[in-house]
Amino acid sequence: MSIVASLLSAALALVSADPTSTPTKPQVEVVTFDCGQLHFTDLGPFSDTGEYDGRPGVLQASCFLIRHPNGNLLWEAGLGDEVAEAPAGVQRANYRAVVRHTLKVQLADLGLRYDDIDFFAFSHGHADHLGNANRLKSAIWLVNTRELQWINGTPTPGRVDPRLIAARPTGQTRLIDGDYDVFGDGSVRILFAPGHTPGHQVLLVRPAHGGPLLISGDLFHTHANRRHRRLPVFNVSRADTLASMDRIETIVRETGAKVIIEHAAEDIGPRLHARVSVHRSRARLATGSLP
């Protein structure tokens, strides 16, 4: 069966199983962190139909702490705390990375350390999502098998740095294929959504208060890209991305989930829906993102 057909079948299976219902609703909280900003001189690569060619802009890097009675899950690891040592940022191959407030400090404000993270998962293997991953040595890593193979492939894919997961505790790694129920009660589910990368994933969370949240990884980089179905030029498969969009949009409609776009500063700013607790650090959120 093709990936496209598999995704459509999976969407129907998830919806038919009534994913909005759970026997008991666990006390789940979602906390968002500002994990840096990516400053681009040309946003052209974020649409293969040319809407952003030659235009500069800024994208947000976001991390999410999912607090569950059975453990803390960190979703995404941001640009990396070491970037904060350079106030003007660090120039990388495709953008200038800026971190004004480290993830370590933001966790400490909640009384947590990196060693207090029980589970770590990430949407995909691009470097802006894995900057602090090597600091999570005590966590159980939930890693898509295809994505891990791709990250460690030869030649190294663009926008990937395998060194960012070099400290991955192999004895504490759960390799997953397809969807995965993190705590076994339906409250936090990783959903397979390939196309941006081979093993790309999104996160569906049902907080204790409010409705479901769909944290979209890089399935969508902006609300405009979601609305107009614009795709970056560097996605590994256009067809798989469109199939993943169809599947996830079906789940969003059926569950009533609010979509959180990780690279949209407004989705972790003061206007964020009350379903999510926003960690208000001293950092200033990015402005000037894609329209």
- Tell me: the pLDDT tens digits for 157-182? 999 999 999 999 999 999 999 999 99
- Tell me: the pLDDT tens digits for 31-50? 999 999 999 999 999 999 99
Q: What are phi and psi of 121, to 5 degrees?
A: -145, 155
CA gap 243, 258 in Å, rounded: 20
Per-residue confidence band for 270, with pLDDT thresholds at 50, 70 and 90: very low
Closest CA to 33 of 59, 57, 58, 60: 60
DSSP codes joined into one string, 242-281: HHHHHHHHHHHHHHTPEEE-TT-GGGSSTTS-TTSEE---
Exposure b/e, 237-257, CB count within 10 A at least 16 = b: beebbbbbbebbbbbbebbeb
- The structural domains of the chain, ordered by start, are 3-277 (3.60.15.10)
CB within 8 Å of 80: residues ≥ 6 apart = 36, 97, 99, 131, 132, 164
240 backbone φψ class: left, alpha, beta (φ>0; ψ -120 to 50): alpha
- Tell me: the pLDDT tens digits for 109-134? 999 999 999 999 999 999 999 999 99
CA gap 167, 68 in Å, rounded: 25
Q: Residue 115 class from Cβ within 10 Å (0-12 exposed, 13-18 middle, 19+ buried)?
A: exposed
Q: What single letter denotes the amino acid at residue 263? A: H
Q: What single letter denotes the amino acid at residue 245? A: M
Per-residue confidence band for 245, with pLDDT thresholds at 50, 70 and 90: very high
CA gap 166, 188 in Å, rounded: 26
Per-residue confidence band for 25, with pLDDT thresholds at 50, 70 and 90: confident
What is the residue whose two structure tokens read 């949240």?
213
Q: Identify any residues that bridge with 121 across adjacent strands, giving them in sequence order.
A: 75, 142
By mean pLDDT, which of 12-21, 24-33, 167-176, 256-265 is the weakest? 12-21
Task: Identify the pLDDT of residue 277.
Answer: 57
Report residue 277 as tokens.
């607790």
Higher pLDDT, 204 or 270: 204
Q: How far is CA 183 from CA 93, 138, 180, 190, in A?
A: 37, 18, 9, 11
Task: Identify the pLDDT of residue 15.
Answer: 44
Q: How far is CA 192 from CA 8, 15, 145, 158, 247, in A?
A: 11, 15, 11, 21, 10
